[in-house]
């Protein structure tokens, strides 16, 4: 009986019990992780497989054909990681922008009253979301590459932009010291846009009048540019691509691997985004559209001011998943030799160094961080529109 | 799909390394192989002459023959072997994790791989070197004329580093385009993405056969690196390492002693003590490795000697048409030399 009363008393002290339980669980978890990590290290040592992260400072010794930061063979594996990560980010960010843009229009097109537009959008969605992405990447790479000419017979646009089977060759812009005035002009333009937009909204709320934002912004921006020109002249030089030997030298070259990957990722993800946009728009009650029409709003005004802001709340969460998918899918780049993080770090570096455990762990951590960062930004945006919707709704 | 398989392999290594305090894969390969009933051999994803499935789906090639020789030594049957095609990137992980018992995958013996990866090279079954293949119409005769060229190659090979060293040493610009699979690298070169395809010279001859018009391409004469290709085993299992090492030596010794798959039964009665020891008539050399004393007899009977495997797979009468060159026996001015069975 006495024993039972101790248990009963113990049960009554819920707060202390919970804290102790949590400490115990944390301790067990910590021990488990410690045991796993120490086991990995000792087993790798027993198998004579090198371990640790010392290789980050070793000389890489291999070339990479697309680098957003300065890189050469004498740089370290750490630098290789940075180059690969930036290449992954480049294709992911541009892919997210392109697929959102395209997906949004196709999603709206899918709901169009026009039979042809709606069926075309449907055909697009069904084709692109039902063919495996790797095959699409291969198609764009080999299918398009095969039809491009060799450098000596490049397609050219006014002898400034060239297209051949080594990619796009564009002139590079080299900015002089006076370019800072042009930068200022751009900042003024952007600032003006937001200021005029706020003002237009205030006028709208106060008087119900719609005033243009673009006209004053454009005028001010042109004035700023003119001022910059008067002060600094033209502080830009163009580095033109010139055919020398096997290929073009100078300028910027956009490698075909990048174009094929970006195209495949954007077209594939756009088909999913289109369906998400359609679902979001269809979730807005029919009465909202009718009410907008009754108030005399035009079709596009109704879409921009009434339908889309409400649809966005349904669209954003699944859209976030698509952004995460696109970033992770970009690792398929390795199949067509685009130098992303999986190719140069979890590929070449892994085989040169041979430390699969460390390198795969780092790569996984980076993808995890990218995904969490994307989620964070999208959740913040989601919370913001939810709030805006709340105050007006 | 490939990536998934690779990640699975890495996961296997991780799990093995994490969970088992005594690594099961480090030692005792021979008893595992005997219990399983076949040798699991890691080969390439298709390189004519070295490891490639023929039109009936059977794996053939010089590397495949090493695998078959090991199976013959252990089981007396060269068919008791299964093959795992591996990309260059996956190969060492597959070996480390115990997914394969050995690699015979045109793999270059380098110091870093030998000392840092927990693996051991058992010998050199083909002395190779890196070369370049270009289109004939370019009119190039030397790799020193390749300044500014785009190079297609395989990701995760010594090739990438050699090319970087060579072009930098000679003050030439270059662009490297590295593919995970050899097939895609060849396809990209075929479409004109690159001016040159670079890999081991033997593989250049082999891959040229896959191009739409093989005769429109030429392999340049220069060799820019040493690529000794050989079988690989896990470090720490000396018994298994010995078996793989001596499977190759048996074939080289057999060529030197004039023993072939055709005359091996007759040779068993030969009076030459070196031949008698090799074929297990005298001595207990097989027993010392934990296998039958007639281990080499079975290798030569079912696979043949080194000359037979060379001529059958890559020699003058094959589409590859490679001469013995440095791979001739040491007695004929080449580098193939095997310690004696004694």
- Assigned token pair, A32: 């488990």
pLDDT tens-digit series, residues B272-308: 999 999 999 999 999 999 999 999 999 999 999 999 9
- Structural domain boundaries in chain A: 2-46, 77-134+256-392
What pLDDT was estimated at residue A391? 45
* Residues belonging to chain B: 342
* Contact call for B155 and A39, based on CB within 8 A: no
Phi, psi of B60 (to 5 degrees): -135, 160
Interaxial angle between packed helices A2-12 and A14-46, expressed in degrees from 0 to 180 and rounded to the nearest 10: 80
Task: Residue window 332-361, chain A: list those with CB within 8 Å of chain B.
Answer: 332, 334-337, 339, 342-343, 347-348, 350-354, 356-357, 360
B158 and B247: one domain? no
B237 and B301: one domain? yes
What pLDDT was estimated at residue A315? 93
Let me know if residue B137 belongs to a domain. Answer: yes
What pLDDT was estimated at residue B10? 59
Nearest CA-CA distance, residue A24 and chain B, Å: 22
Minimal-distance CA residue of chain A relative to B12: A357
Query: pTM value?
Result: 0.82
Let me know if residue B257 belongs to a domain. Answer: yes
Q: Which residue has the tokens 């398929």?
A: A332
CATH of A77-134+256-392, one of 3.30.460.80, 1.20.120.550, 3.30.360.10, 1.10.3720.10: 1.10.3720.10
B241 and B105: one domain? yes
Question: Which string of DSSP letters, residue by residue, matches B258-295?
Answer: T--TTTHHHHTT---HHHHHHTTSSS-HHHHTTS-TTH
Q: With beta carbons under 8 A apart, name residues in chain B contacting A67.
A: none
Q: With beta carbons under 8 A apart, name residues in chain B contacting A73.
A: 164, 168
Question: Which string of DSSP letters, residue by residue, matches A155-181?
Answer: EEETTTEEEETTEEEEPEEEE-TTHHH
Say how far apart CA B228 and CA B223 lie, in whole Å.
13
B215 and B282: one domain? no
Q: With beta carbons under 8 A apart, name residues in chain B contacting A245.
A: 147-149
Residue B47 has pLDDT above 70, yes or no: yes
Range of B30's domain? 2-127+229-332
Mean of pLDDT values over B212-240: 93
Q: Residue A291 in contact with residue A341, Cβ under 8 Å?
A: no
Helix, strand, or coil here: B42? strand
Residue B44 has pLDDT above 80, yes or no: yes
Q: Mean pLDDT by 10-residue block, N- to C-terminus, for chain A (393 residues)?
A: 66 79 93 89 78 88 91 94 96 96 94 93 95 94 86 84 87 81 89 90 84 87 89 81 80 90 96 96 90 88 87 92 95 92 92 88 95 93 72 43
What pLDDT was estimated at residue B25? 46
Q: How many domains does chain B have?
A: 2
Q: With beta carbons under 8 A apart, name residues in chain B contacting A353.
A: 116
Q: Which of A36, A47, A350 sits opposite B96 (nearest CB)?
A: A47
Question: Which string of DSSP letters, residue by residue, matches A79-90?
Answer: HHHHHHHHHHHH
Please, which residues have CB within 8 angstroms of residue A299's CB and are 6 or more apart in sequence? none
Kind of pairing between the strands at B59-60 and B52-53: antiparallel
Residue B15 has pLDDT above 70, yes or no: no
* Contact call for B23 and A43, based on CB within 8 A: yes
Order the strands of the B196-200 sheet from edge to edge.
B174-179, B149-154, B196-200, B130-135, B217-219
**B167: pLDDT confidence band, cut at 50, 70 and 90?**
very high
């Amino acid at each position: 009986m006495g024993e039972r009363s101790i248990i009963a008393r113990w049960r009554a002290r819920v707060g202390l019990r919970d804290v102790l339980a949590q400490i115990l669980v944390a301790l067990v978890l910590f021990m488990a992780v410690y045991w796993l990590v120490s086991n990995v290290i000792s087993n790798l040592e027993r198998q004579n497989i090198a371990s640790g992260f010392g290789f980050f400072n070793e000389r890489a010794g291999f070339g990479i054909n697309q680098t957003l930061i300065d890189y050469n063979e004498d740089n370290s594996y750490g630098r290789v990681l940075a180059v690969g990560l930036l290449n992954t980010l480049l294709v992911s960010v541009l892919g997210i922008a392109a697929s959102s843009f395209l997906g949004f229009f196709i999603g709206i097109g899918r709901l169009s009253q026009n039979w042809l537009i709606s069926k075309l959008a449907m055909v697009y969605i069904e084709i692109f979301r039902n063919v495996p992405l790797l095959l699409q990447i291969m198609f764009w790479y080999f299918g398009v590459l095969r039809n491009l000419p060799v450098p000596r017979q490049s397609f050219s646009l006014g002898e400034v932009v060239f297209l051949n089977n080594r990619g796009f060759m564009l002139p590079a812009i080299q900015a002089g010291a006076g370019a800072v005035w042009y930068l200022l002009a751009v900042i003024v333009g952007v600032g003006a846009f937001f200021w005029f937009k706020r003002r237009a909204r205030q006028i709208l709320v106060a008087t119900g009048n719609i005033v243009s934002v673009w006209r004053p912004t454009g005028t001010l921006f042109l004035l700023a540019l003119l001022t910059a020109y008067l002060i600094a002249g033209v502080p830009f030089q163009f580095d033109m691509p010139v055919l020398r030997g096997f290929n073009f030298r100078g300028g910027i070259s956009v490698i075909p691997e990048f174009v094929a990957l970006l195209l495949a990722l954007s077209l594939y993800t756009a088909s999913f985004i289109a369906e998400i946009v359609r679902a979001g728009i269809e979730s807005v009650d029919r009465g909202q559209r009718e009410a907008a029409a009754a108030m005399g709003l035009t079709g596009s005004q109704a879409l921009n001011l009434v339908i889309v802001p409400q649809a966005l709340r349904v669209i954003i969460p699944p859209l976030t998943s698509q952004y995460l998918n696109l970033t992770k899918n970009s690792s398929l780049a390795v199949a067509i030799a685009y130098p992303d993080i999986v190719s140069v770090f979890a590929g070449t570096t892994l085989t040169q160094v041979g430390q699969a455990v460390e390198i795969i762990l780092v790569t996984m951590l980076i993808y995890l961080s990218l995904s969490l960062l994307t989620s964070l930004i999208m959740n913040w945006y989601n919370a913001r529109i939810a709030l805006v919707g709340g105050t007006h709704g | 799909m490939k990536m998934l398989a690779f990640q699975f392999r890495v996961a296997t290594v991780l799990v093995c390394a994490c969970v088992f305090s005594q690594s099961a894969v480090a030692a005792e390969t021979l008893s595992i192989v005997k219990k399983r009933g076949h040798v699991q051999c890691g080969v390439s994803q298709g390189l004519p002459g070295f490891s490639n499935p023929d039109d009936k789906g059977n794996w053939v090639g010089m590397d495949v023959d090493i695998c078959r020789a090991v199976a013959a030594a252990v089981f007396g049957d060269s068919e008791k072997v299964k093959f795992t095609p591996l990309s260059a990137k996956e190969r060492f992980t597959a070996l480390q994790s115990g997914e394969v018992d050995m690699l015979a995958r045109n793999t270059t013996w380098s110091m870093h791989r030998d000392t840092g990866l927990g693996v051991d090279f058992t010998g050199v079954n083909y002395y190779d070197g890196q070369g370049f293949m270009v289109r004939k119409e370019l009119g190039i005769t030397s790799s020193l004329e390749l300044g500014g060229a785009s190079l297609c190659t395989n990701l995760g090979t010594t090739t990438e580093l050699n090319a970087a060293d060579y072009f930098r040493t000679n003050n030439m610009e270059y662009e490297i385009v590295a593919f995970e699979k050899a097939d895609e690298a060849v396809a990209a070169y075929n479409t004109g993405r690159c001016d040159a395809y670079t890999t081991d010279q033997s593989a250049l001859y082999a891959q040229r056969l896959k191009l739409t018009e093989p005769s429109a391409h030429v392999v340049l004469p220069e060799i820019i690196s040493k690529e000794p290709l050989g079988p690989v085993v896990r470090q720490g299992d000396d018994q298994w390492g010995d078996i793989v090492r001596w499977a190759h030596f048996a074939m080289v010794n057999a060529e030197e002693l004039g023993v072939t798959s055709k005359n091996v039964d007759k040779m068993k009665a030969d009076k030459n003590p070196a031949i008698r020891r090799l074929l297990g008539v005298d001595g207990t050399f097989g027993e010392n490795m934990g296998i039958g004393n007639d281990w080499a007899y079975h290798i030569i009977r079912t696979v043949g000697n080194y000359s037979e495997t060379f001529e059958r797979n890559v020699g003058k009468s094959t589409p590859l048409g490679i001469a013995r060159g440095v791979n001739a026996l040491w007695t004929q001015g080449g580098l193939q030399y095997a310690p004696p069975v004694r």
